[in-house]
């Protein structure tokens, strides 16, 4: 078991497959041309399998593939197939634009649930946020996943003045469609134009919803970061992820591996632990993983307490696209 100083058991690993992406979301990546990691620095497919196996041996029960855009990686299908042989539940977070190409692979790998990012229901605004004209494809793929019987979660990063006028539209979506809309607070990362004035707290979003809809509480899992609500007569649900205004660090069970094989024990943590270098040197990587766990801070990577006191650029961290969300 991977237990930290605060008795938190860590059994959920997020693996970033690439720092590359076919979208350019403004809240996720720096504005200037990004330099991608050289291919040789990325974990290769066989390295991913071996490293993931060690995590599974140490008690990890669930692995989420992320990025960058996980499906932008050319050997995505092989990686998926390899990981599906491990005794873990597989999940993925994606921008959804390539889902139609990999649906059969995902089903063969046993994926029954998928998180798809969708910050606007308006094609023009979607294009402005992602800097790609891809709303129609993403939407069609969302409907394809629903038709295939998948549990579909929609990740919506709420930003003041950008998409806060669409709270009702996203809520309305859950009336007929069995989708689970997750309103996520806008978080600060390296060069992502964050400022606290753009944050809309979950409580505020919930208030807007409650003006028109009667929410009732649904049961959350013990390590869930989203607080789930139903609306009478709706096929889908709403969830609120309040990372900044009401953080869920006390029940955190997450670990992260970046595409270049560095372990991060917290999304906001500055420290990185080089699992890939240890692996390539032929060393046992278990001690590196255990060291990373032992150094985990109680809250928010030990970098801040109250987001209202944060200045843009203050945190020592990578950009989200290079961490793996």
Binding residues for ligand SF4 (CB under 6 A): 21, 23-25, 28-29, 67-69, 95, 117, 130, 321
Residue among 224, 302, 304 nearest 265 (CA) = 302
Question: Do the bridges between strand 227-231 and strand 254-257 make them parallel or antiparallel, or are there none, so unpaired?
Answer: unpaired
CB atoms closer than 10 angstroms to residue 216: 9
**Quick check: 157 binds ligand SAM (CB under 6 A)?**
yes
**Quick check: 19 binds ligand SAM (CB under 6 A)?**
no
Among 15, 17, 28, 154, binds ligand SAM (CB under 6 A): 28
How many CA atoms, within 13 angstroms, populate the side-chain half-sphere of residue 70?
A: 29
Residue 246 — φ and ψ, nearest 5°? -155, 75
Question: Stretches 20-28, 40-48, 215-223, 295-303: which one binds ligand SAM (CB under 6 A)?
Answer: 20-28
Q: How far is the CB of 209 from ligand SF4 (least distance, A)?
A: 23
Among 15, 17, 21, 154, binds ligand SAM (CB under 6 A): 21
Q: How far is the CB of 216 from ligand SF4 (least distance, A)?
A: 31
Partner interacting with residue 29 (select from ligand SF4, ligand SAM, none; CB below 5-8 Å by kind)? ligand SF4
Nearest to ligand SF4 of 27, 240 (CB atom): 27
How many CA atoms, within 13 angstroms, populate the side-chain half-sphere of residue 283?
A: 11
Residue 183 — φ and ψ, nearest 5°? -85, 120
Partner interacting with residue 72 (select from ligand SF4, ligand SAM, none; CB below 5-8 Å by kind)? none
Residue among 131, 184, 154 nearest 22 (CA) = 131
What does the alpha-carbon distance between residue 278 and residue 239 come to, in Å, rounded to a whole number? Answer: 39
What DSSP state is assigned to residue 36? P
- 230 SS3 class: strand
Partner interacting with residue 90 (select from ligand SF4, ligand SAM, none; CB below 5-8 Å by kind)? none
Residues forming the site for ligand SAM (CB under 6 A): 21, 27-28, 66-67, 69, 93-95, 117, 155, 157, 184, 186-187, 189, 192, 320-321, 325
């Amino acid at each position: 078991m991977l237990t930290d100083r605060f008795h938190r058991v860590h059994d959920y690993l997020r693996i970033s497959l690439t720092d590359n992406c076919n979208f350019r979301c403004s809240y996720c990546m720096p504005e200037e041309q990004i330099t991608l990691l050289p291919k040789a620095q990325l974990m290769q497919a066989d390295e991913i399998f071996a490293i993931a196996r060690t995590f599974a041996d140490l008690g990890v029960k669930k692995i989420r593939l992320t990025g960058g855009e996980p499906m932008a990686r050319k050997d995505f299908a092989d990686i998926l197939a390899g990981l599906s042989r491990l005794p873990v539940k597989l999940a993925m977070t994606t921008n959804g634009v390539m889902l139609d190409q990999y649906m059969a692979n995902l089903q063969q790998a046993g994926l029954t649930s998928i998180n798809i990012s969708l910050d606007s229901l308006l094609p023009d605004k979607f294009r402005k946020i992602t800097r790609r004209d891809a709303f129609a494809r993403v939407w069609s793929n969302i409907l394809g996943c629903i038709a295939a019987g998948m549990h579909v979660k929609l990740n919506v990063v709420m930003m003041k003045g950008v998409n806060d006028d669409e709270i009702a539209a996203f809520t309305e979506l859950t009336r007929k469609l069995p989708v689970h809309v997750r309103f996520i607070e806008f978080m600060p990362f390296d060069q992502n134009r964050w400022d606290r004035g753009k944050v809309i707290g979950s409580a505020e979003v919930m208030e807007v919803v409650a003006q028109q809809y009667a929410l009732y509480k649904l049961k959350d899992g013990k390590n869930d970061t989203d607080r789930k609500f139903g609306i009478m007569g709706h096929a889908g649900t709403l969830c609120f992820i309040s990372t900044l205004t009401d953080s869920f660090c006390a029940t955190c069970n997450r670990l992260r591996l970046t595409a270049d094989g560095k372990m991060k024990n917290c999304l906001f943590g500055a420290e990185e632990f080089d699992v890939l270098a240890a692996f390539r040197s032929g060393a046992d990587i278990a001690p590196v993983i255990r060291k990373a766990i032992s150094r985990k801070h109680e809250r928010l990577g030990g970098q801040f307490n109250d987001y209202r006191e944060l200045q843009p650029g203050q945190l020592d961290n990578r950009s989200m696209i290079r961490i793996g969300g």
